[in-house]
Amino acid sequence: MLQPTRLRTSWFFLSNLLSACSAANAPDPLAKSVPVVSQQSATASASSAPGLSSARAVPPPARPTYPRYTNGRFEPVVTYAELEPKDPERECTHDYLSGFSAIAAYSDGAWLVGSCGVRVRVEGTKVERFPTPVETRMVQPDDYECAAYLMHWSIAARSRSEAWLLSSPRCNANPNAVWPNVLERFDGKAWRKAYSNFATASGKRTGGDAFEVFVAPDGAVFTQVHDMGGGSDLRNSLGRFANGRFTLLREGLDARVIAIFEASRRNPEGPVLEVPESYDSESYVELLPLSSAELFSLATRQTNLRDGDIRTKSMVLALSKGAWSKEELDDASLSAGARAPSGVLWAAGKHLWRRRPGGSFEPVLRDVASSRAVSDIVVRGEDDLFLVMGCGEEPTCVGAQVLHYDGTSVQEVEVVPAAGLTASSMSASRPHLAASANGDVWLQGENVMWRLGVSATASAGRMSDAAVNLARY
């Protein structure tokens, strides 16, 4: 049994202690907590080995090549430049987060959201905007006014008339110019505020805010909460929203550390506290809700030691009939998951995994991810799956790489550049996929939204037909 170390700590010390263990894994809400595989991280093991310098670091593996997918290609539908607000009197300063951030499909189309209040519904070649209000807010203690646009983090849709969206009013990168996230619901006519107090739940302080929302087939709404400051970036939790209340389902940080953390926060100059020699934390990557009472969560569990050593395990957590269970997978880091209409679950990290109803996860494809992490998966059928890998932090990467798996082999899907955009603006560090019931597959990068199979002629026609929808933003 590990014995705790007895020492005097403070709010400042504890914040630094916990943050230091998690700095490399600080959650990025736009990336859905996907581990970024960069050139730097790919060479870390070689450059840090005894006797090797960074000059001799091994470069990341070359991007693998696959046969071309022949049943269509991703054609541009709309660009962020067409949608971003252009009001010189109330300039949006979300430059540090600029672009599209999330996409959610429904039977005949998809919702697309991003920074600076960008929120549209796309069906075929029609783009319909739903403007968000811009508020003038006072920033304290800096004592200045700013135009607070909504930064949309995550969206989930059950139909064209029911969707859920998480956003936060913010002016710029100043921490004092950022306000708590708001959960909104679209009722078929308008977007209406549903909830905004994720800092507390079930009578407890979560220590963070909700940045990701998911909806089950029966309409149940779930969220993932991250602590984005003032404490440990390791603190994550899962919750369910129902009847106007947010209820915690699972805490990702060891209860002993939460107690110490909260005691130090309340009384920074308080008595001697006992900090454990080691503690566990869970980072939740993706939720796959099946119903209000059953869900799966891709997760990483870390055992954090005071000497700085971190031991990780990839696993899938399952909630059923009020009880949690786990299944560990032999994978470096799970990064994306999806549920097929048949109920088959898919997970991707270094490998691609499949779980049939009532079974366990089994590897289907080995080493599907190279120097990039899989950032999203969509499934249209048992033998019809798409994966997308973003650039992460690769400095020379241009564009997303989309792969298709037909049950036996992998093909690469062509992504057509949007006209008039530079190579750098085509980059996609955090791309997402979505699939509609009608067969449409959507791809979202930071600056472009694509649809699979749209011809060049149809794409050009959309730009002129939808001009009336985009002219007055």
> pLDDT category, 393, cuts 50, 70, 90?
low
| Higher per-residue pLDDT: 129 or 279 | 129
Q: Lowest-pLDDT range, 53-62, 129-138, 146-155, 237-246?
A: 53-62
pLDDT at 29: 46
Q: What is the pLDDT of residue 235?
A: 62
Phi, psi of 135 (to 5 degrees): -105, 145
Give me the number of domains the chain comprises: 1
Q: Is the pLDDT of residue 354 over 90?
A: yes
Listed range (9-13, 91-95, 209-213) with the worst mean pLDDT: 9-13
Residue 430 structural domain:
10-44+58-470
Interatomic CA distance for residues 35 and 217, integer angstroms: 28
Q: Residue 384: inside a domain, yes or no?
A: yes
pLDDT digits (tens, 9 = 90+) for 142-175: 899 999 999 999 999 999 999 999 999 999 888 8
pLDDT tens by residue, 243-291: 888 888 998 877 777 777 777 767 777 776 666 777 788 889 899 999 9
The residue among 29, 55, 40, 34 whose CA lies nearest residue 396 is 40
Q: pLDDT-derived band of residue 426, with 50, 70 and 90 as boundaries?
A: low
Phi-psi region of 358 (alpha: psi -120 to 50; beta: other; left: phi over 0): left
Q: Is 349 domain-assigned?
A: yes
- Banded model confidence at residue 410, pLDDT cuts 50, 70, 90: very high
Q: How many CA atoms lie within 13 A of 230 on its CB side?
A: 15
- The C-alpha torsion from 125 through 119 and 132 to 138, rounded to 10°, is -150
pLDDT at 30: 45
- How far is the C-alpha of 19 from the C-alpha of 207, rounded, in Å? 13
d(CA 426, CA 417): 7
Cis peptide before 141 (omega within 30 of 0): yes
List the end-to-end C-alpha distance of the chain, in Å, as a whole number.
62
Beta carbons within 10 angstroms of residue 132's beta carbon: 21
Q: Nearest Cα to 145, choosing from 98, 96, 91, 193? A: 91
Confidence at residue 472, expressed as pLDDT on a 0 to 100 scale: 25
Between these two residues, 50 and 194, which has the higher pLDDT value? 194
Does residue 51 belong to any structural domain of this protein? no
| Alpha carbon distances (Å) from 119 to 45, 368, 466, 472, 473 | 42, 33, 15, 14, 11
Rounded CA gap, 360 and 381, in Å? 19
pLDDT at site 254: 73
Neighbours of 65 (CB within 10 A): 7
Confidence of residue 241 (pLDDT cuts 50, 70, 90): very high
pLDDT of 311: 84
pLDDT of 133 above 90: no
Enumerate residues 6+ apart whose C-beta is below 8 A from 414.
68, 69, 73, 74
| pLDDT higher than threshold 50 for residue 34 | no
Q: Which of 463, 464, 469, 468 is nearest to 75 (CA)?
A: 463
Is 5 inside any structural domain? no
CB-CB contact of 268 with 11 (8 Å): yes
The CATH code of the domain that includes 109 is 2.130.10.10
- 4, part of any domain: no
Residue 403 has pLDDT above 50, yes or no: yes
Q: Is 411 inside a domain boundary?
A: yes
Q: Looking at residue 17, what is its pLDDT?
A: 37
More confident residue, 381 or 386: 386
In a domain, 279, yes or no: yes
Burial class, 338, CB count within 10 angstroms (exposed 0-12 / middle 13-18 / buried 19+): buried
Residue holding tokens 């399952």? Answer: 318
Question: Residue 65: pLDDT band by 50, 70, 90 thresholds?
Answer: confident
- Evaluate whether residue 3 is within a structural domain: no
What pLDDT was estimated at residue 322?
92
Model pLDDT, residue 204: 55
21-30, 54-63, 105-114: the lowest-pLDDT one: 21-30
Q: In the predicted model, what is the mean pLDDT of residues 2-27?
A: 35
90: left (phi over 0), alpha (psi -120 to 50) or beta: beta
pTM value is 0.80
User: What is the pLDDT, as a whole number, of residue 306?
Assistant: 67
> For the chain, what is the mean pLDDT?
78
Compute the distance between CA of residue 402 and CA of residue 431 in angstroms, rounded to an integer: 10
**What is the rounded distance in angstroms from the CA atom of residue 110 to the CA atom of residue 94?**
24
Asked whether residue 63 carries a pLDDT value surpassing 90, the answer given is no
Judge whether 433 and 441 are in contact, CB under 8 Å. Answer: yes
Long-range contacts: 306-314, Cβ < 8 Å, 24+?
306/5, 306/275, 306/277, 306/278, 308/20, 308/21, 310/21, 314/349
